[in-house]
Amino acid sequence: DDEKSFYREKIKTLLKARNAVMVAHYYTDPEIQALAEETGGCVSDSLEMARFGSNHSATTLLVAGVRFMGETAKILSPEKTVLMPTLEAECSLDLGCPIEEFNAFCDAHPDRTVVVYANTSAAVKARADWVVTSSIAVELIEHLDSLGEKIIWAPDRHLGRYVTQKSGADVLCWQGACIVHDEFKTQALQRMKALYPDAAVLVHPESPQAIVDLADAVGSTSQLIQAAKSLPHPQMIVATDRGIFYKMQQAVPDKELLEAPTAGEGATCRSCAHCPWMAMNGLKAIAESLEFGGKTHEIHVDAGLREAALLPLNRMLSFAA
């Protein structure tokens, strides 16, 4: 692996030269998360990525994740240069909620408070009253419900259904889905539970209802890592992107982590639950983004949109604080 160590060294040198810090999502490949840790950056969920990036003294942020994470970093830190390994790393939730249609949806229900998931474009955030991540979604919807507010939730229908059930709030839901979590298969998971009777099942709420129903713990990425620590089970069947195994295994070195099955009958899946856009954040792409920056790697957000999107984002950060 000469090539990998070549790029790792190159990235370390370029990070220093550019006064840059790496912020990586839990779903990126293990070698990317390891490099972020080794170079003083952070590995976390999108909420913590946003916070870490805006508080850090570096003048350039290298965001290893998908586009909405780079946009969020830029909105919070307009004075910083925000680079991404590729500008083509999308998210099916973001893609499934185009601003024109979303505007029409909101316009049709002017009496509802608009809450959008972090996995959205800057334009959709700009239209929202609140931005949330899955780690604070239930709490925020409960809070708004207690104020008597009716809600529009977008874009993830599974997470929307989950927070609706948890909070009992009046929620009108956009029908988007995450292509990774949508693929977990109920019958295969039931068979796997039978095979591993001592295992706990950990599920991200972007998963279908029937998968959530089989869970011992449901939560955001950081909450699932916490659950792996606090549950007594020696094995964990995990229904979220397998990128999470890197930090989860650090947290529970003595426990066995198993991927929840996605496709196919019977057999457990060894390589399905991984976001193809997260996987675009390779070492070579990171090195190139730091070396060349500019057109192909730098995130820009229109000034008007930025100002409008900053409001609901800051609300999220204050609510989560």
Chain residues binding ligand SF4 by CB under 6 A are 27, 66, 91-93, 119, 178-180, 241, 275, 277-278
CB 17 within 8 A of CB 58: no
Minimum gap (Å) between residue 118 Cβ and ligand CIZ: 5
Q: What are phi and psi of 136, to 5 degrees?
A: -125, 10
Cα 272 vs. chain centroid, distance in angstroms? 17
Q: Which letter, b or e, does each residue of 1-28 get, where b requires 16 or more Cβ atoms within 10 Å of its Cβ?
A: eeeeeebbebbbebbeebebbbbbbbbb
Tell me which residue has its CB nearest to ligand CIZ: 45
Q: Pick from ligand CIZ, ligand SF4, none: which does 45 bind, CB < 5 to 8 A by kind?
A: ligand CIZ
Closest to ligand CIZ by CB, 25 vs 80, is: 25
Q: Work out whether 28 is an interface residue with ligand CIZ (CB under 6 A).
A: no
Minimum gap (Å) between residue 136 Cβ and ligand CIZ: 10
The residue assigned the tokens 């995130």 is 299
CB 154 within 8 A of CB 74: no
Q: Which letter, b or e, does each residue of 271-297 get, where b requires 16 or more Cβ atoms within 10 Å of its Cβ?
A: ebbbbebbebbbbebbbbbbeebeeeb
Instruction: Measure the CA–CA gap between 215 and 116, rounded to whole angstroms.
Output: 25
Q: Pick from ligand CIZ, ligand SF4, none: which does 192 bind, CB < 5 to 8 A by kind?
A: none
Minimum gap (Å) between residue 236 Cβ and ligand CIZ: 17
**Given candidates 206, 224, 243, 310, which one binds ligand CIZ under the rule CB under 6 A?**
206
Q: Between residue 163 and residue 192, which ones bind ligand CIZ under the rule CB under 6 A? A: 178
Closest to ligand SF4 by CB, 98 vs 168, is: 98
Closest to ligand CIZ by CB, 244 vs 290, is: 244
Instruction: Measure the CA–CA gap between 60 and 80, rounded to whole angstroms.
Output: 5
Minimum gap (Å) between residue 179 Cβ and ligand SF4: 5
Instruction: Measure the CA–CA gap between 15 and 5, rounded to whole angstroms.
Output: 15
**Given candidates 60, 119, 207, 268, which one binds ligand CIZ under the rule CB under 6 A?**
119
Q: Would you give the DSSP letter of residue 278?
A: G
Q: Work out whether 120 is an interface residue with ligand CIZ (CB under 6 A).
A: no
Minimum gap (Å) between residue 207 Cβ and ligand SF4: 11
Q: Pick from ligand SF4, ligand CIZ, none: which does 46 bind, CB < 5 to 8 A by kind?
A: ligand CIZ
Q: Pick from ligand CIZ, ligand SF4, none: which does 134 bind, CB < 5 to 8 A by kind?
A: ligand CIZ
Closest to ligand CIZ by CB, 60 vs 133, is: 133
At position 4, the amino acid (one-letter code) is K
At position 58, the amino acid (one-letter code) is A
Q: Would you give the DSSP letter of residue 36?
A: H
- The structure tokens listed for 70 are 């780079």
Instruction: Measure the CA–CA gap between 41 and 98, rounded to whole angstroms.
Output: 32
Q: Pick from ligand CIZ, ligand SF4, none: which does 92 bind, CB < 5 to 8 A by kind?
A: ligand SF4
Minimum gap (Å) between residue 262 Cβ and ligand CIZ: 15
3-state helix, strand, coil in the chain (%, to 5): 50, 15, 35
Q: Work out whether 134 is an interface residue with ligand CIZ (CB under 6 A).
A: yes
Q: Pick from ligand CIZ, ligand SF4, none: which does 179 bind, CB < 5 to 8 A by kind?
A: ligand SF4
Instruction: Measure the CA–CA gap between 66 and 57, rounded to whole angstroms.
Output: 22
> What are the residues facing 57 on neighbouring strands?
none
Closest to ligand CIZ by CB, 118 vs 305, is: 118
Interacting residues with ligand CIZ (CB under 6 A): 45-46, 118-119, 133-134, 178, 206, 221
